[in-house]
Structures are given as C-alpha cells and as structure tokens.
Amino acid sequence: MWPYPRTLAHRGGGTLAPENTLAALRCGLAYGYRAVEFDVMLASDGVPVVVHDPELGRTVAGSGFISDYTAEELGRMDAGAWFGPQFAGEGVPTFEAVVAYCKAQRIWMNIEIKPAPGFEVPTGLAVARATRSHFAQEIAAGELLPLLSSFSIAALQAARQAAPELARGWLVEAVPAGWMQTAKELGVVAIHCDHKQLTPELARQVKEAGYGLFCYTVNTRERASELLAWGVDGYCTDRIDVIPSMA
C-alpha cells in the first residue's frame, strides 16, 4: 500500500531554506533526506515550474501571477532573498531542473500538482506527461516511481488520463464523508491529509480499505510516533533538523 519512503522533506528543505528551490533540495540532502515533497504549477508558456503560490510576493519577489510569466522569466526572479541574504538570486526552478537534481542524487519525489485557479486540467496533463517522459526508463524497468498528488480532483483525473501508469494520491485537509467512493473513482493509491484532522478511527478505515495514508506537516518526533502507531505510512516535515529521515 505504501512502497515509498516514510519521511519527506516538505517543499525540499522545510524551514531551513527557501521553499521549492534547488537550495532547499540541497539543504534537505545535507540533512540526509532522500525523499522530498514539492509543488508544481504552470508558467505562462505551459512549462511546469516548482512553486507553491499562484501569486508573486510571498516567496518570489514581484507582482502579478505565476501564469503571467514564462519559465525563463520566473527563473530570473528572486525566490530566495525573502528567506535570507545568503539565498539572494535563487530563482524559481523548472520542474525539469528539480527532477534532474533529484534523479542525480537519488532523491524520491512526491510531486504535488498545484494548479493555479482555472488551470487544473492543463496542469494535471502537463505534470503527468513531463513526469512520464522524465521516468520513461524507470517505467520500462518497473522501478519505483514518483507519486503524483493533488487537492484538485480535476487535476488528478487529467493526470490519470495522461499517464495512468503513474500512481496518484488524493490530498484533502480532512478525510471527508464518502471519501472511499471518490478515491475509488479517482483510482488513487493513497490518501494525504492534514495530521491535525486525522483520528485513529479514520486512520484505521483508510488502512483497512487498502489505501496508503500520508500526513502533512508533522513537526515533532512525538507526533510522528503517534501517527505511525495509528498506522500512518508516511509524512512530510518542515523540521528536518529535528526529525531524522527514515526510509
């Protein structure tokens, strides 16, 4: 039900580096994390880029929306100075660049499809197609592949259409009533939820139904141990300096 690593660095480097950047990936690796979670949306030219917010201003200096700029333009923007001067000039990376780094360093990926409003289907299609292309050899060899995930049902459906061989997880804040029927219709292999909204009974239901169970974002060892005791298979964390990586 969950052939993937147990602990993932949230957005690459948790709270120790600017999120969703190559610097974050380097940071996570420095702390021994060879499994990461990151977010992907589309630039104006349809190129997948790794960033969380659809609007500039929080982590990327500038104004407007990610969908207003090409991937090349976003790469020249500053996505690191907000975190610290030592990260000034760290640009918005392309999905291709992040995958290349992760593959070179043997880092497993939970790829969250994070569409801007109105771009759910094209983002799901583009991310799934790009992932299938980047991992063509691994697919042919039957090796462990990245896991695609999303809050967007439309994006998950599009990803399934584009690359049915890639496993998917359904992201929710709280596991909703009727979740099992939706999960079956989506063909997902796992449920991803906010750990604060999970109960032992819900965890039991998900596991007994045959799904993997993943939680975000767990930042203490005590809570991680409690969730694992409930049957949770994996989680991401911002505190890669506190919670050691576990395969």
Per DSSP, the three-state class of 183 is helix
Query: Which residues, 6+ apart, have CB-to-CB distance to 43 below 8 Å?
Result: 49, 66, 67, 69, 70, 71, 73, 74
Angle among Cα 22, 26, 28 to the nearest 5 degrees reads: 115
How far is C-alpha 43 from the chain's CA centre? Answer: 17
Give mean pLDDT, residues 45-72: 98
Q: What are the catalytic residues?
A: 10, 52
Q: Is the pLDDT of residue 38 over 90?
A: yes
Q: Name the 3-class secondary structure at 9.
A: strand
Residue 99: predicted pLDDT: 98
What integer pLDDT is reported at residue 168 of this predicted model? Answer: 98
CA dist., res. 35 & res. 134, Å (int): 17
Identity of the residue numbered 207: K
Q: Is the pLDDT of residue 247 over 80?
A: no
Q: Cα dihedral sign for 39, 41, 43, 49?
A: positive
Amino acid 127: pLDDT: 98
- Are the CB atoms for 33 and 17 separated by under 8 Å? no
> Going along the chain, which residue ranges are E strands?
7-10, 35-42, 48-50, 108-113, 147-150, 168-171, 190-194, 212-216, 234-237
Confidence at 246, pLDDT banded by 50, 70, 90: confident
What one-character-per-residue DSSP string does 88-141 give?
Answer: TT--PPBHHHHHHHHHHTT-EEEEEE-PPTT-HHHHHHHHHHHHHHHTHHHHHH
What residue has token string 């610290």?
A: 84
Q: pLDDT (tens digit, 9 = 90+) per residue, 115-140?
A: 999 999 999 999 999 999 999 999 99
Distance (Å, rounded) from C-alpha 247 to C-alpha 242?
16
